[in-house]
């Protein structure tokens, strides 16, 4: 806990001081060192400051200052694990040991540019399974993990990729706020070893903030492969930050990295020293002027005065707000405005440009002494591939061919294992039918659970193949090129290429795709991308597509998939155009996106990604789909008609029509009857609002009963309805149904994501109403036109 949380009269032992610079030095000199006992004695009348007793003297601290001191209380010692002791344990030794154990907990934040390998390092270190993609925007929030290493408990946090610590993008603002509020013990700044000049810009900003830091020179094997040479020990000594070569893909250098982290944390690494990045005499004079006036502000105790002074010169709104409660704020504000104007007049450029130039000059000077360029074969290979896949003539056809190949492979290759699973499910159903006595339990197992869950689980191979392709495009670096070649098309609908990546991610799942929009700087573009994302057909719709396309359009599988996916994309683009035209203002945000070098995805990373998706799918089978299948079965089974023995197909049809589910379906079916849908189809669509896979499981339950033969759901959908003599689904109704499913209300998880990321539930409600209306209109048009020809 923090010292500020200590109750009056309560005592604790100091674990660590979290501040930095002058504050840390002053507070340690006052006796707040590891193992010292401190007692909270008195609150001021307004509860701030607080009087503490330490080393037999009294000291007053503001709550904000006390909040920077971590302590352990008597109550907390009970949660500390102690080694076996054969001696006498006193209260003092217990306290001291508890403080020692807590002091061996190191909080690490991973900070770096997009594509630098932070998440790979996080996965290797913590054993977590976060997905890694070779493009920006994969990590859209902080991921937390922990592990034990050489007697230390290391808590590790993977922060979003960011190029700087300004407030231009949501990621930059998030990372900066995280560092300022959570104050990690050590920052691991992950940089791409083969692209140091660009990556070290962020390092210079972290140096300004005066954090304890270690630089991980990641992908060091690529630097060595190119023939380049780097004296990383000298470079670390020059900038005052130790540097460790790593290859997070393979785990090489990870132990050395955390050895260095421990040394920095325990303040025994000789390379560590605070180096001021020199910004030239004009800027430095202004920084020193503001810094001297900031020293009297309590904000300067928590944050580096030099960092605050630089940001005030740049007119940073966030920092201005942080300093606003200082007594001399108006004086500071006027001074920073005056100095900024003088600097820009003297240097004939704006302050941000001047600071950036000096930082890059500092980096260039350091690299001239430590780095020797290699042959750069990797960049040459990237240029050769890019000349083909981003070519204005063949670039888009290549992208379309890859999409077609993905969908065709998903169906064709997935058909074999799908058939095996389908056969196994049918055999299990047939065996239970033979060995169990008639009754509700038998019907529940065969018609409810196996009919529902079994009807969906057969599509697991198809899901895995789809994610195999998506994972390969993400990890190889092609996804960023897809955004590049689609930028012009996206611009015509009022967006830019960066919006394309969340849309392509939507082929996997709309929820993380919606969250990935955080990487889009413009709020209007971000909102439009969020709202059109549910029109992109996610993998949850795939079981519905495969079932109906395979059943009713087996000779045109590829074209059917393409039409469905393109229909969703077309509606998304039209919606974006309408929103930009009639609701949002024009967006002039420039398209700035890194095109990372191509990399061959590792087999381990690809398999891990596929397994994660398989695990999520199987959990859904055993969770929401199992529960929903049982509920659908119960509602369609009761109230029970008083008929002895097995029902005939006609009796079963009448029973289902009069069931609770039949009554619900008939109540809502008038809305969907103009589309050719009966009550069973209406019920399946309603259940699909929870999760799209439930459409198949619901149909599996509703079409499962009354048949002794182990026929597949595909065969049962084509059979005539016993009460009407006509099949519920024809090719036309199936096509209308597919169009409706591809466009209508997103699942509950997607609606929640829309509301959360858009910042209001009104956008979640808009998504529900608008998507369903568009789906009804499009399906109505398809059905009515189809009736003219069929």
Q: Partners of 146 in the beta sheet?
A: 155
Contacts of 726 (CB under 8 A, 6+ apart): 720
* β-strand partners of 112: 190
- Asked whether the predicted pLDDT for residue 533 surpasses 80, the reply is yes
pLDDT confidence band for 82 (50 / 70 / 90): very low
With beta carbons less than 8 A apart as the criterion, state whether 742 and 541 touch.
yes
CA dihedral for 131, 132, 135, 136, sign (positive or negative): positive
Instruction: Name, in order, each residue with C-beta under 8 angstroms of 266's C-beta and a sequence gap of 6 or more.
Output: none
pLDDT of residue 54: 86
HSE-CB for 445 with a 13 A CA cutoff: 15
> What average pLDDT does this structure show over 375-384?
67
Among residues 492, 423, 447, 505, which one has the least CA distance to residue 636? 447
Q: Residue 144 in contact with residue 107, Cβ under 8 Å?
A: no
Q: What percent of the chain has pLDDT over 70?
A: 88
Which 8-state DSSP code applies to residue 252?
A: B
The CA distance from 150 to 258, in Å, is 10
Q: Token digits for 673?
A: 């009857």
In angstroms, rounded to a whole number, what is the distance separating the alpha carbons of residues 670 and 682? Answer: 9
* Number of residues that this document lists for the chain: 790
More confident residue, 203 or 649: 203
* Cβ 501 vs Cβ 479: under 8 Å: yes
Q: Is 776 exposed, middle or buried (0-12, 13-18, 19+ CB in 10 A)?
A: middle
With H, G, I as helix, E, B as strand and everything else as coil, classify residue 157: strand
The reported pTM is 0.68
| Greater model confidence, 92 or 515 | 515
As a whole number of Å, the CA-based R_g of the chain is 31
Rounded Cα gap, residues 119 and 473, in angstroms: 17
The CA distance from 310 to 609, in Å, is 42
pLDDT recorded at residue 84: 45
Range 113-138 burial, b when 16+ CB lie within 10 A, else e? bbbbbbbbbbbbbbebebbbbbbbbb
In Å, how far from its chain's centre is CA 300? Answer: 34
Question: Which pLDDT score, from 0 to 100, does residue 85 have?
Answer: 44
DSSP 8-state symbol, 210: T
Residues 6+ apart with CB under 8 A from 488: none
Question: How far is Cα 613 from Cα 416, in angstroms, rounded to an integer?
Answer: 20
Contact predicate 625/453, CB 8 Å? yes
Least confident residue range of 83-87, 369-373, 465-469, 782-786? 83-87
Model confidence band, residue 587 (pLDDT cutoffs 50, 70, 90): low
* Residue 60: strand pairing partners: 51
* Segment 608-646, tens digit of pLDDT: 777 777 777 788 777 777 888 888 888 888 887 666 556
Ordered DSSP codes for 56-94: TEEEEE-HHHHTTEEEEEHHHHTTS-----SS---HHHH
pLDDT digits 0-9 by tens, 512-530: 788 778 767 778 888 999 9
Reported confidence tier of residue 598, pLDDT bands at 50, 70, 90: confident
């Amino acid at each position: 806990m923090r010292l500020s949380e200590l109750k009056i009269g309560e005592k604790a032992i100091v674990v660590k001081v979290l501040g930095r610079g002058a504050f840390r030095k002053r507070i340690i000199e006052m006796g707040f060192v590891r193992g010292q006992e401190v007692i909270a004695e008195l609150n001021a009348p307004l509860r701030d400051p607080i009087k503490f007793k330490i080393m037999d003297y009294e000291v007053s601290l503001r709550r904000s200052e006390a909040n920077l001191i971590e302590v352990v209380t008597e109550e907390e010692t009970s949660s500390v694990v102690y080694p076996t002791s054969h001696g006498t344990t006193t209260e003092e030794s217990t306290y001291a040991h508890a403080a020692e154990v807590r002091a061996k907990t190191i909080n690490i934040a991973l900070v770096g540019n997009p594509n630098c390998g932070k998440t790979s390092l996080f996965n290797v270190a913590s054993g977590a399974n976060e997905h890694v993609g070779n493009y920006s925007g994969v990590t859209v929030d902080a991921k937390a993990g922990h592990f034990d290493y050489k007697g230390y408990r290391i808590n590790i946090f993977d922060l979003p990729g960011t190029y700087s610590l300004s407030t231009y993008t949501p990621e930059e603002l998030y990372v900066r706020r995280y560092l300022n509020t959570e104050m990690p013990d050590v920052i691991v700044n992950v940089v791409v070893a083969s692209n140091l000049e660009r990556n070290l810009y962020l390092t210079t900003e972290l140096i300004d903030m005066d954090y304890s830091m270690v630089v991980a020179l990641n992908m060091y094997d690529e630097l060595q492969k190119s023939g380049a040479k780097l004296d990383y020990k000298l470079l670390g000594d020059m900038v005052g930050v130790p540097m460790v070569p790593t290859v997070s893909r393979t785990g090489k250098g990870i132990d050395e990295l955390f050895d260095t982290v421990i040394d920095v944390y325990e303040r025994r690494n000789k390379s560590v020293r605070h180096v001021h990045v020199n910004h030239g005499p004009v800027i430095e004079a202004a920084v020193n002027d503001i810094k001297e006036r900031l020293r009297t502000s309590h904000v300067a105790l928590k944050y580096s005065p030099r960092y605050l002074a630089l940001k005030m010169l740049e007119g940073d709104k966030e920092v201005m707000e942080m300093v606003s409660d200082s007594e001399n704020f108006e004086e500071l504000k006027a001074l920073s405005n005056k100095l900024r104007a003088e600097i820009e007049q003297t240097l004939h450029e704006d302050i941000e440009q001047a600071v950036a130039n000096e930082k890059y000059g500092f980096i260039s000077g350091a690299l001239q002494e430590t780095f020797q360029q290699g042959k750069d074969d990797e960049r040459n290979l990237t240029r050769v591939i890019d000349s083909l896949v981003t070519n204005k003539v063949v670039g888009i056809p290549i992208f379309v061919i890859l999409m077609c190949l993905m969908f065709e492979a998903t169906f064709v290759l997935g058909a074999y294992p799908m058939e095996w699973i389908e056969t196994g499910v049918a055999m299990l159903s047939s065996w239970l039918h033979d060995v169990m006595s008639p009754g509700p339990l038998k019907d529940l197992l065969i018609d409810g659970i196996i009919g529902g869950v079994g009807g969906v689980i057969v599509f697991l191979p198809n899901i895995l193949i789809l994610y195999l392709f998506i994972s390969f495009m993400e990890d190889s670096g092609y996804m960023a090129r897809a955004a590049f070649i689609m930028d012009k098309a996206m611009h015509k609908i009022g967006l830019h290429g960066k919006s394309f990546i969340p849309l392509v991610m939507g082929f996997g799942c709309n929820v993380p795709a919606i969250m990935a929009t955080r990487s889009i700087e413009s709020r209007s573009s971000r909102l439009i991308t969020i709202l059109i994302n549910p029109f992109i057909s996610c993998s949850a719709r795939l079981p519905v597509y495969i079932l109906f396309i395979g059943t009713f359009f087996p000779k045109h599988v590829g074209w059917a998939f393409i039409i469905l996916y393109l229909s969703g994309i077309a509606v998304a683009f039209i919606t974006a155009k309408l929103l930009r035209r009639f609701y949002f203002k024009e967006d002039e945000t420039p398209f700035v996106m890194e095109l990372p070098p191509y990399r061959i995805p590792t087999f381990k990373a690809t398999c891990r990604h596929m397994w994660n998706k398989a695990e999520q799918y199987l959990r859904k089978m055993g969770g929401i789909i199992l529960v929903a299948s049982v509920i659908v079965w119960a509602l369609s089974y009761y109230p029970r008609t008083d008929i002895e023995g097995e029902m005939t197909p006609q009796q079963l049809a009448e029973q289902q029509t009069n069931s609770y589910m039949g009554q619900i379906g008939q109540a809502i079916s008038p809305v969907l009857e103009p589309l050719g849908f009966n009550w069973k189809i209406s019920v399946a669509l309603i259940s699909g609002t929870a999760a799209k896979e439930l459409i198949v499981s619901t149909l599996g339950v509703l079409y499962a009963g009354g048949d002794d033969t182990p026929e597949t759901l595909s065969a049962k959908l084509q059979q005539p309805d016993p009460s009407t003599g006509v099949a519920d689904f024809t090719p036309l109704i199936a096509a209308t149904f597919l169009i409706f499913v591809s466009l209508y209300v997103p699942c509950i998880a997607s609606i929640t994501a829309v509301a959360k990321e858009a910042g209001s539930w009104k956008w979640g409600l808009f998504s529900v109403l608008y998507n369903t209306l568009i789906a009804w209109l499009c399906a109505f048009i398809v059905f009515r036109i189809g009736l003219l020809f069929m």
